[in-house]
Amino acid sequence: MRLAKSWGATLFAGVACLYGNGENCTDSANRYPAFGGGFQYIIKQKERMVLNLEYAQGTSDNYRAYLQFG
């Protein structure tokens, strides 16, 4: 989502599962949902250089902040 000329925002969500050794994805104990969001700043429009700062939250107090330049 574009917020201004050089600023944007992202939202994301997903689910992963573990399987194998008798485990499968139909068991809710093997499902791991996560969600997050962040901001994007366009440093150089022509060169498509951006700076991303994102935060993700999962289950069992799992969380992470990401800073990406590219």
Which amino acid, one-letter code, is at 1? M
- 15 membership: H or E segment, kind and range: strand 7-17
What number of other Cβ atoms are within 10 A of residue 33's Cβ?
A: 11
Helix (H) or strand (E) holding 61: none
Residue spans of the domains in the chain: they are: 7-69
Task: Place 52 in a pLDDT band, splitting at 50, 70 and 90.
Answer: very high
Model confidence, pTM: 0.74
Could you report the per-residue pLDDT of 20-40, keeping only the tens digit for each? 787 888 888 888 999 999 999
